[in-house]
Amino acid sequence: MFVKPSGGSRGRGIIKVWRAGGHVWVKHTIHPARSFTCEDEAVRHVERLQENGAYMVQQGISLIRIGGRPVDIRVMVQRTRPCGPWLYSGMVAKVAGPGSVVTNVALSHGRVMEVKQALRTVFGPRRAETCVREMKRLALTAARHFDTYQPYRELGFDIGIDRSGRVWLIEENTGPSHHLMKQLRSNPGLGRLIEHRWSQYQRALRSNRRRV
């Protein structure tokens, strides 16, 4: 399982807890794991690692791996005008850096790669295409759901795929990084599309304000 700061960002402060070999293991972000034979000692260690503020416990997922490193997918959806329809903009695969429990590229010194390339490596082409379709549908459905709380201009969803090919929504980001998407050098058009849609939204917002 994962113990995560509620409202945290950029993968900071995440603690992974798991059982193996009769021990309870605790790993904080990119630091070395520690093992405990006593569950109470492990709990106290987790409490010491926690900073001020609320934390939440999230189910762990056996994410697909490339080169032994966990991988998840950032899917970005945007609007081009306030309260307009959600549009799928693109996705990248995030490969965790060495020894990291998080896939945040900057924090873990990881890298990005083409999603289809990553999934074909693990599942082959047919299952890769199915996963991509499922992730697009999940992101757009989730974005429409979040509209019931607050209308956003763009959202980034971190989606995990387990080793059996099931798709899981890990978390949503209300201020998703454009820079992350621009790191995919094999598809420079992705960054341009994201910036273009951001600019369209800004122009539409200014136009609405002038009319008011």
Question: What's the whole-number mean pLDDT along residues 97-126?
Answer: 86
pLDDT of residue 190: 97
| Angle 94-95-99 from CA coordinates, rounded to 5° | 135
DSSP letter at 101?
S
pLDDT of residue 20: 83
Mean pLDDT for all residues in the chain: 88
- Beta carbons within 8 Å of 28's beta carbon, 6+ residues apart: 13, 14, 15, 16, 49
Q: Is the pLDDT of residue 8 over 60?
A: no
pLDDT of residue 11: 59
CA dist 103 → 106, 110, 167 (Å): 9, 7, 16
| Angle 160-161-165 from CA coordinates, rounded to 5° | 165
pLDDT of residue 14: 78
Q: Is the pLDDT of residue 159 over 80?
A: yes
Place 183 in a pLDDT band, splitting at 50, 70 and 90. very high
Q: Is the pLDDT of residue 128 over 70?
A: yes
pLDDT of residue 30: 62
Give the predicted TM-score (pTM) of the model.
0.80
Decide yes or no: CATH 3.30.470.20 for domain 65-211. yes
Q: Is the pLDDT of residue 7 over 80?
A: no
Q: Could you state, in order of their start, the residue ranges of all structural domains in the chain?
A: 2-58, 65-211
pLDDT of residue 28: 81
Question: What's the whole-number mean pLDDT along residues 52-74?
Answer: 85
Place 105 in a pLDDT band, splitting at 50, 70 and 90. confident
**What are 17-36's pLDDT values in tens digits?**
878 888 888 878 767 788 88
